[in-house]
Amino acid sequence: MKRVAVILSGCGYLDGAEIRESVLALLYLDQAGAKVEIFAPDIDQYHVVDHLSGNPTKESRNVLKESARIARSKIKPLQQLHAVDFDALVLPGGYGVAKNLSDFAFKGKDASVEPDFARVVTEFYQAQKPIGAICIAPAVLAVILQSQGGATVTIGEDAGTAAAITACGSTHEICDTEDFVYDPANKIASCSAYMREDSIAKVAQGIEKVVKQVLSVA
């Protein structure tokens, strides 16, 4: 049974983890028989967004507590995650990856990354354990890996994000929502998911392919 760690970044695409991407990753991991543990950093969100209006509110929410909604309370602080205990890592997207796990949403290639998130990704990368990266997560992966050789990934076709990936020394490949890109040298599989406002059925196809690829090489 493959042991897979999943990192969430809140609960809601505008200020946290993309909910559907997170659930679909958990679904396909479970269907494939993986043993999954879920983690999130015990930090405040960058901000809280009213998902009806799209505007920020004055509330404050904690990334670990909000991620626990998706995890059905079975979640651990990210600082407890170590690659040595797992066979693979899966990273759903959402603005939480670019606002809470990093500030990529504001600084692009010059982003800072939450220290435990950078540490964990680096551990899996250096141990040659596979990483599945969904939506905007591949771009933050490129930021983390810029001093370590980078990788080949996709975030779909968004030109600005693709340029940031290239500026970090990684390679970007354009890819349809229902497909995925695999970098065999670095064991990194990625798909764009809700980087495009596509149907959930198409988003699910890309995520299922990423999960299967990750498990096949774990």
13 vs 95: CA distance, rounded Å:
6
The stretch among 7-15, 139-147, 162-170, 172-180 that binds its own copies (CB under 8 A) is: 7-15
Identify the DSSP state of 127: T
106 vs 112: CA distance, rounded Å:
10
Which C-beta is closer to its own copies: that of 205 or that of 213? 205
Instruction: Residue 119: count other Cβ atoms within 10 Å of its Cβ.
Output: 16
Per CB under 8 A, 193 contacts its own copies: no
- Catalytic residue at 135? yes
Per the CB < 8 A criterion, the answer to whether 14 and 95 are in contact is: yes
- Of 11, 135, 168, 191, the catalytic one is 135
Binder to its own copies among 37, 47, 68, 218 (CB under 8 A)? 68
- Please name which of 107, 85, 122 lies closest in space to residue 3, comparing C-alpha atoms: 85
Per CB under 8 A, 8 contacts its own copies: no
Per CB under 8 A, 196 contacts its own copies: no
CA distances from 4 to 202, 209, 215 (A): 23, 16, 9
Per CB under 8 A, 126 contacts its own copies: no
- Binding region for its own copies (CB under 8 A): 11-14, 16, 19-20, 23-24, 26-27, 30-31, 50-52, 54, 59, 62, 64-66, 68-73, 75, 194, 199-201, 204
